Amino acid sequence: MKILVLGGTGAIGSFVVKILAERGHDVYVTTRSERKSTGIHTKYLIGDAHDMVFMKQTLIGRYDVIVDFMVYEPDEFQKHSELLLKNTNQYVFISSARVYADSRAEAITEDTPRLLDTLRDEKYLATNEYALAKAREENILLNGKYKNYTIVRPYITYSSQRIQLGIYEKELWLQRALEGKTIVFSKEIAERHTTLTNGYDVSLRIADLIGNPRAVGEIFQITTDENIKWESVLELYLDVLEEYLGRRPKVYLTKYSDPVTEQTNYYQVHCDRMYNRIFNSEKIHMVTGETSAFIEIREGLRTCLREFLLGDQEFTYRDWKIEAVFDRLCGEWTSMGKIPGMKIESNICWKGLYHDGE
């Protein structure tokens, strides 16, 4: 098959591209930066998939399947989705299991009510926060004239480069631990049940839906059925780090989360991570015929963290404002010389004294 992948250079997209190419499909991937093709079945198309002119040019050659990992605003998606749907046999839209409302600890299925349909928080509903935007974009597909869509709802995925703790990426907890600092985490989130699924497992199931006639016009969540408390995830991380460092990192438990992330990620905390997230993945297995189990959460997380620690340990952007708050909570110090752009003698330190306006 001839397959177009939009936004296919991220963690899950890269896995999907690799799997499809290994299965002999001709895979075309949009990217905004120069990339070298990795094999005869993969070709990168340089351009912005948000740009309608670029997309119309790209779609001159019809594709059997289009897989869409892009993040849109709903108004933008209205225009793009119609163009994409009419230029392919199957349009695979990557949504999110964050769309679901609180299931009250019952196992979530594809029919579980969504936040958009049940929540009465007018302030939240007036936003296009990620979970709401994805649900509104699902509605555009569900209520539109084209029915050749497949909606996919992954939940929290992990790999050796993406190792999450609650709402924190590795840059906000693992980097601190490796520097000998205290990990800051929410006591209430720690008590909640969650589901984390290996990114490669999720990618395999997405690939199994591609070209599958039983997947057309359907919604699938792709998660493991297994669940775990965040406090158990944290303890697992601490065990692996103690093995690697020869010491056990310290932990500071806050009531919810720190003041900065409470402001910037409020709804992700209160309309997702504060819920117990337990899933039933029966539908995806039934439709794909895939009977092999997802990798067990503890085994997968342990393996990925070890791989990261023994590899290049690549960290991306670091939010020094949040770091300052964490330092203040824990009574710790950061050398000014570590902060990019700080023109100050490197032997001077701060003790997390950042406030807005200072």
Tokens of 39: 């094999």
In a domain, 284, yes or no: yes
One domain for residues 226 and 335? no
Q: Which of 107-116, 141-150, 263-272, 336-345 has the lowest mean pLDDT?
A: 336-345
Residues 6+ apart with CB under 8 A from 168: 185, 261
Spatial separation of the C-alpha atoms in residues 276 and 163, rounded to whole Å: 20
259 and 343 fall within a common domain: no
Looking at the fold, whether 196 and 245 belong to one and the same domain comes out as: yes
Whether 1 is in a domain gets the answer: no
pLDDT per position as a tens digit, 27-78: 999 998 776 666 789 999 999 999 999 999 999 989 999 999 999 999 999 9
pLDDT, position 342: 58
What is the model's pLDDT at position 290?
A: 64
- Of 147 and 355, the structure prediction assigns the larger pLDDT to 147
Are 200 and 330 contained in the same domain? no
Residue 264: other Cβ atoms inside 10 A:
14
Reply yes or no on whether the pLDDT at 326 is more than 70. Answer: yes
Top-confidence range, 247-261, 266-280, 324-338 = 266-280
Query: What would the mean pLDDT of 95-119 be, rounded to a whole number?
Result: 96
Inside any domain, residue 137: yes
Position 128 pLDDT exceeds 90: yes
Give the residue numbers spanning the domain of 145: 71-318
Establish if 103 belongs to a structural domain. Answer: yes
| pLDDT given for residue 255 in this prediction | 79
What pLDDT, on a 0 to 100 scale, did the predictor assign at position 275?
A: 96
Whether residues 305 and 326 share a domain: the answer is no
Query: Could you give the percent of the chain with pLDDT greater than 90?
Result: 78
Report if residue 193 sits inside a domain.
yes
Q: Do both 312 and 342 map to the same domain?
A: no
Whichever domain contains 296, its CATH number is 3.40.50.720
Q: How many domains does the chain have?
A: 2
> Percentage of residues in the chain with pLDDT exceeding 70?
90
Q: In the predicted model, what is the mean pLDDT of residues 105-133?
A: 95
Q: If pLDDT is split at 50, 70 and 90, which confidence band does 356 have?
A: very low
Q: 184 and 298, same structural domain?
A: yes
- Do both 240 and 329 map to the same domain? no
Q: What is the pLDDT of residue 349?
A: 47
Q: Is residue 50 domain-resident?
A: no
**277 and 330 housed in the same domain:** no
pLDDT at 311 over 50: yes
**Are 329 and 269 in the same domain?**
no
Residue 225 is assigned to a structural domain of this protein: yes
Average pLDDT rounded to a whole number, residues 242-255: 95
**Could you tell me if 106 and 193 lie in one domain?**
yes
The answer on pLDDT for 170 being more than 70 is: yes
Whether 206 maps to a domain, the answer reads yes
Q: What is the pLDDT of residue 8?
A: 81
Return d(Cα 169, Cα 188) in angstroms, integer: 18
Residues 169 and 301 grouped into a single domain:
yes
Predicted model pTM: 0.91
